[in-house]
Amino acid sequence: MNFKEQIKQGIPAVLPSAKPYPVAANRAPKRKDILSTDEKQLAVRNALRYFPKVWHQELAIEFAQELIDFGRIYMYRFKPNYVLKARSLVDYPAKCKQAAAIMLMVDNNLDPAIAQHPEELITYGGNGAVFQNWAQYLLAMKYLSEMENDQTLHIYSGHPMGLFPSSEEAPRVVVTNGMMIPNYSKPDDWEKFNALGVSQYGQMTAGSFMYIGPQGIVHGTTITVMNAFRKVLNKGESAKGKIFLTAGLGGMSGAQPKAGNIAQCITVCAELNAHAATKRHQQGWVDELIDDMDVLIKRVKVAQAKQEVVSIAYIGNIVNVWESFYEQDIYIHLGSDQTSLHNPWSGGYYPIDMSYEESNRLIGEQPEVFKSKVQATLIRHAEAINKHTALGTYFFDYGNAFLLEASKAGADVMAKNSIDFKYPSYVQDILGPMCFDYGFGPFRWVCTSGKSEDLDKTDDIAAQVLKTLMQDAPEEIQQQMQDNITWIEEAKQNKLVVGSQARILYADAQGRMEIAKAFNDAIHAGEIGPVVLGRDHHDVSGTDSPFRETSNIYDGSRFTADMAIHNVIGDSFRGATWVSIHNGGGVGWGEVINGGFGMLLDGSAACERRLKSMLLFDVNNGIARRSWARNEEADFAIKREMARTPKLKVTLANRVEEHIIDKLSF
Ligand SMILES: NC(=O)c1ccc[n+]([C@@H]2O[C@H](COP(=O)([O-])OP(=O)(O)OC[C@H]3O[C@@H](n4cnc5c(N)ncnc54)[C@H](O)[C@@H]3O)[C@@H](O)[C@H]2O)c1
């Protein structure tokens, strides 16, 4: 059977034989053994729903074994034999282009060049799943191949519930991931309901098929590090010879040294897993590898003296670096952390004085001991950071739940009011006021022809649009526009493409709409093939996350999730090709609600209408909320948008004089 025939078939008619696990694959960690015997039976019963009765005897034994061995039922033998990668749009068997575009994006998220644990359908972040098992993948792709442009596929946490009649204007796919009744949204609930096969952790872009490899995170990290240095340096002062100390060289954290190099500083990045550090070194994402603290200290002092731009991976625990640099009087300008503390108990964060291998053994054998070691390390970690910040280091939480987990462990990270943290999150200080409140966020696109020439043309179009807009842009957003023009002009030479022909940049509502319209015009003129638009959920409006995306909301509403829900509903009836809403992502299950969209541009007039309507709402929904929260930058941005768009009428906040509030007695 060829590729198209296999897709159209869905679950194969003949039972495929069991497969050995591929030797070179990076396997997902064994998950917690959390189900009771009755629940394990239920998990197998649930899994067998996908298959004809005649296979049940054989598959029941195999699936029970997968549950014992890995804590999940992945249905390995149903993984298709064809190569999983984004093909050209025309290679997919589909009755409508929109469905083919979604198939392309699904396959891109399972491409072994992109996905962290491709055999377990995990794209990134250790648990960010596209589907829970291979049967769901096969069925979803079959439905997409049959879909006509007046049908919608509803996907519940990876499970394709079915194709429902809708209309041409409706989204082709609606995805929900990990939506739980709020009282059942603790981390162990994820373990349990995911093991039962009824829920999944979609992270932010894995479960919405919008992950585009490391490029997205390189861009976001570059913007963050550059703007963080702008906060601590004098105007015009260079970051050369100044230290950025952080940890993690994994899926997304691995972007830090590359971003540090683009920002022109000395990056020291600790990584306990020697394989992860070596991989990043071989890929050219970090310049030097050092596994000895004395050598590291000498090297860093030389780099400081020579004002070098260099990135150094230290193979070891980050806590040792913070402590040793303090003893050695090495001044750190910027400090952060990107260990996986959204997932602290199963390998996201490693305790001090233990090797990577010892830690992993302890997780399986004595999870409670492991947990107490992690918490003790977090306390020590925070103590060392506090010593540096007392000297002037600027430390920010990098959206990995470091301060949240450190506070739960009892570390000294709380502010005097015992509500806030001592240190800002990168959104509170940097991305929120400098980007999100103005509407700047991670806009991305994929050229569905798969041709690099198309990507080059879209780069040129985007740069041209931004340069034109910059001519009339107010002072407040000039810096962001210039950073993104520089980024897009250098993007090709920075060789950022892995998997599909994708690009990212930060743009505001006007920028996104103008760029999308210019792409649609170029498609109409036959200059490029169709383009998928999308964005990271980590954006202005898509995500409610009190310790990350909405951490700079100070009116008490940061623990609400209305904005993300309005966003996904609003996008869905304004023309998105697919929409998704997730519990979890980045900071952890139960800690965030985030959503996003995908939109296929095909060059049509209908598409132009849809992109204008949807992108305007997709960005301004969040700006309106941020303005209502009294954020000055958002107030500026929404007034500017209302002046441009007469049909937009947003409720504006009146600011009360503080002395009136101060005089109140309760
Ligand atoms: N704010 C953002 O934009 C943003 C972006 C990316 C990632 N994140 C968050 O950052 C975290 C990391 O993401 P990732 O995809 O790189 O995860 P990952 O699990 O692939 O990588 C984390 C790395 O940290 C290492 N590590 C853990 N404990 C350590 C310790 N004590 N010392 C040294 N190294 C240690 C691990 O070995 C691992 O390689 C996640 O929580 C993610 O949600 C935030």
CB 496 within 8 A of CB 214: yes
272 C-alpha to center of ligand 1: Å? Answer: 11
Tell me the average pLDDT of the chain: 96
Q: Say which residue the tokens 């100070």 belong to.
A: 554
Q: Which atom of ligand 1 is nearest to the CA of 356?
A: 37
Residue with tokens 């309901």: 193
| pTM (two decimals) | 0.90
Which pLDDT band holds residue 236 (cuts at 50, 70, 90)?
confident
Cα 123 from chain centroid (whole Å): 10
The pLDDT of 195-205, averaged and rounded, is 97
- Give mean pLDDT, residues 48-73: 97
Q: Among residues 260, 232, 231, 263, which one has the least CA distance to residue 247?
A: 260
CB 622 within 8 A of CB 539: yes
**Residue 550, pLDDT score:** 96
Question: C-alpha 355: how far from its chain's center?
Answer: 28
Q: State residue 647's pLDDT score.
A: 97
pLDDT attached to residue 26: 84
Burial of 489 (0-12, 13-18, 19+ CB in 10 A): middle
User: Which letter, b or e, does each residue of 306-317 get, where b requires 16 or more Cβ atoms within 10 Å of its Cβ?
Assistant: eebbbbbbbbbb
Token pair recorded at residue 427: 């959104």
For ligand 1, mutation pick of 122, 400, 551 (most atoms within 8 Å of CB) = 400
Write out residues with Cβ below 6 Å of ligand 1: 124-126, 217, 220, 247-253, 270-273, 276, 317-318, 338-342, 348-350, 398-400, 538, 586
Among candidates 661, 557, 572, which has minimal Cα distance to 610?
572
- Could you identify the atom of ligand 1 that is nearest to the CA of residue 276? 39
Taking the centre of ligand 1 as the mean of its atom positions, its distance from the CA of residue 417, in whole angstroms, is: 29
Nearest to 397 by CA among 380, 384, 408, 382: 382
Spatial CA neighbour of 431 closest among 566, 554, 548, 595: 548
Q: What is the pLDDT of residues 102-116, one digit of tens each?
A: 999 999 999 998 898
Sign for the CA dihedral angle at 480, 486, 491, 494 comes to negative
Strands (E), 231-321: 243-247, 266-271, 288-290, 310-315
Give the phi and the psi of residue 78 in degrees, each rounded to 5: -90, 0
Nearest to 583 by CA among 210, 252, 205, 202: 202
82 in helix, strand or coil?
A: coil
Rg (CA), the chain: 24
Strands 151-156 and 173-177: parallel
Residue 520 pLDDT > 90, yes or no? yes
Using pLDDT thresholds of 50, 70 and 90, give the confidence band for residue 346. Answer: confident
